[in-house]
Structure 1
Amino acid sequence: MELRQLEYFLAVVEERSFTRAAARMHVAQPGVSAQIRRLERELGQELLDRAGPAVRLTQAGATFLPHAKAALSAVTDARLALDELAGLVRGRLAVGLVTSFSSVPVSDLLADFHRTYPEVEIRLSEASSDQLVAGLRDGQLDVALISTGRQLPAGLNTRVVVDEALVAAVVQEDPLAVGSEVALADLRDRPLICLPQGTGARTGLDEACEAAGFQPRVTMEAGDPHRLVELAGRGLGVAVLPAPFARRHGVRLRGLEIVAPRIRTRVALAWPAERPASPAGQAFVDLACAVVPSL
């Protein structure tokens, strides 16, 4: 049994086609078919049902599939371990970024990493902080920039890189706009426009309101802070968001720092507590920690 046979088998299963699998593996289609036939003869079982328009697993193939995946994964892990021992960084880097975050030059970080480690395939995905934390814990992500409230997530290493006040943004005509601050209690009965649950800013607001003994009256949610500003600018409610976003729209809106209590929202670089899932992940953490100042 050869590794390439397992690779061809997995490609056919995922593509459900010998032709597409061959294109994916950059080999001729007859070569893929021949190698899988040899694998089936060696195992004494047909692994694939070729009768229909799409290739399907036989019962034997379904039984064999997880073992083939495990074998290929073990070989990949062994190669990465040897690369790490030799001081090389290869493989993949899975980076998560909280949606609509722009305070850290992520593009510059990724470009610097790519110049230093050109053989690493970089994958970047955006999601809510809750989803990113789950991805770090289950090994889908090596490192992520997440937004948090007062409490940092357990089970992860974190490095806080942004710490900002949470403000209430109102139109200039709003009675609250006469000052520079607003007590949290004064927002109790106001319609609020907020980031969705799972974001650091929303978590901070919900925690503060719970401690004050009431639930915020959230009437509108949007994942993009700029959309919150647009909605508040139309007089549809009070936008609760990190201070920098309100400052950018100072002509249309007035940002009032929320006090009694003051609420902070933080962005942190996070990675698994033991270590990132790969040498590439560790290399990225080292680079980010050297370039991005901590608070």
Structure 2
Amino acid sequence: MDLRQLEYFVAVAEERNFTRAAARVHISQSGVSAQIRQLERELGAELFDRSARTATLTVAGQAALDHARSALAAARAVGQAVGEVTGLLRGRLRVGMVIGCTVAPLFDALAAFHRAHPGVELSLQEDGSDRLVAAVRAGTLDLALVGTAHATPEGLAGLTVVSERLVVAVPADHPLARARRVTLRDLIRHPIVCLPPGTGLRTLLDDVCTAQRLQPTIALQASAADAVADLAARGLGVAVLSASMAASHRERLTARVIEDVRAPALLALVWREPHGPAVRAALAHSHRAFGREAGGAGGADTPHGAKPADADRG
């Protein structure tokens, strides 16, 4: 067996789907399947139950998964150790970001990192925040830009790059646009258009409703903030967005802060500790790109150059 086979095996195990795993490792599905079959022949046991649409680990696959992850981590550690001695970074930096994200400072940071460390292969994948956080925890991503309802997801280190209030966005003739004050209880009297479960902003909305024992009516869901705003502008529901998301649609929608929701919607870079030299270098470039000193935790102000309105906080 080789490390490539183990990488494909871990990808399929975590994605539970050969097609998604192939997209993640950037080869064809047939290539992933062939390598997994070869690994199974070498081990003398099937690793996946392929009888259903979802690729489920067999007992043998479950026994192999942790060891495969450890082997991949050990291989990365070898490259990192040599890189620290020679001063030349090599290997791979795997970055994730929320779907629909165009936060320019992240792209600036990656470009600067690539110029400084051309020997490191960069990969970038989009997904929902909950899946990205899980991938960072599992070690299949090194760094991810995620939307979150908490400053740092449990078990990870983080840098908050955007922190904003939750708002309701409605057409100018909507009753909430003319209200003197909008509360969460006012909001839930109307059908809501928002991001789907698993996104940071939706988690925040669900948490604050649960805390007040309120049951919102989610009329429509969309995975991008622009789609949420478009649906609300057409009168299909009341949009729940962050302040900057709503601001980019001010010509069509009136944004009102939800007064009794004090917890902010956050956009954060997250990573595991301890981390290697590639992640450390990427974080240094990220701190500079987002206009913060290295080691800062992030505050309530939008960092210079960030365009959170274009991110879905997914």
TM norm structure 1: 0.75
CA RMSD of aligned residues (A): 3.1
- More off after superposition, 188-197 vs 148-157: 148-157
Amino acid of the residue matched to residue 275 of structure 1? P
Give the corresponding residue for 1:61. 42
How many residues were matched structurally?
A: 249
- More off after superposition, 151-160 vs 77-86: 77-86
Give the corresponding residue for 1:242. 242
- Displacement of 1:259 after TM fit? 1.1
Give the corresponding residue for 1:279. 277
Q: Which ranges in structure 2 are unaligned for 5 or more consecutive residues? A: 10-33, 48-63, 293-297, 300-314
Give the corresponding residue for 2:133. 133
Are 2:97 and 2:127, in contact at CA under 8 Å, matched by a contact in 1?
yes
Q: From the CA coordinates, give the structure whose radius of gyration is larger.
A: 1
- More off after superposition, 174-183 vs 62-71: 62-71
- Displacement of 1:263 after TM fit? 4.2
Are 2:156 and 2:271, in contact at CA under 8 Å, matched by a contact in 1?
yes
Q: 1:200 to 1:246 in 2, by over 3 A?
A: same
Q: Deviations over 1:103-147 (max 9, x none)?
A: 452221111111001111101111111111101110001111111
Q: Deviations over 1:227-284 (max 9, x none)?
A: 0011001000000011112111112110111112334101111111x223x4212211
Are 2:79 and 2:90, in contact at CA under 8 Å, matched by a contact in 1?
no
- Displacement of 1:214 after TM fit? 1.1
Q: 1:72 to 1:250 in 2, by over 3 A?
A: closer
- Displacement of 1:68 after TM fit? 10
Are 2:148 and 2:268, in contact at CA under 8 Å, matched by a contact in 1?
yes
Q: 1:133 to 1:60 in 2, by over 3 A?
A: closer
Q: How does 1:103-142 map to 2 (within 5 A)?
A: 103-142=103-142
Give the Cα–Cα distance (whole angstroms) in 2 for the partners of residues 247 and 267 of structure 1. 16
Give the corresponding residue for 1:87. 87
- More off after superposition, 224-233 vs 85-94: 85-94
- Displacement of 1:158 after TM fit? 1.0
- More off after superposition, 82-91 vs 224-233: 82-91
Give the corresponding residue for 2:229. 229
Larger RCO, structures 1/2 (Cα 8 Å, 6+ apart): 2
Task: Give 3-state SS (helix, strand or coil) of 2:112's partner.
Answer: helix
Give the Cα–Cα distance (whole angstroms) in 2 for the partners of residues 7 and 99 of structure 1. 32
Amino acid of the residue matched to residue 281 of structure 1? V
Q: How does 1:208-227 map to 2 (within 5 A)?
A: 208-227=208-227
Q: Which ranges in structure 1 are unaligned for 5 or more consecutive residues? A: 1-5, 15-52
Task: Give 3-state SS (helix, strand or coil) of 1:289's partner.
Answer: helix
Q: How does 1:1-295 map to 2 (within 5 A)?
A: 57=38, 61-63=42-44, 74=74, 77-150=77-150, 152-179=152-179, 181-272=181-272, 274-276=273-275, 278-292=276-290, 293=292, 294-295=298-299
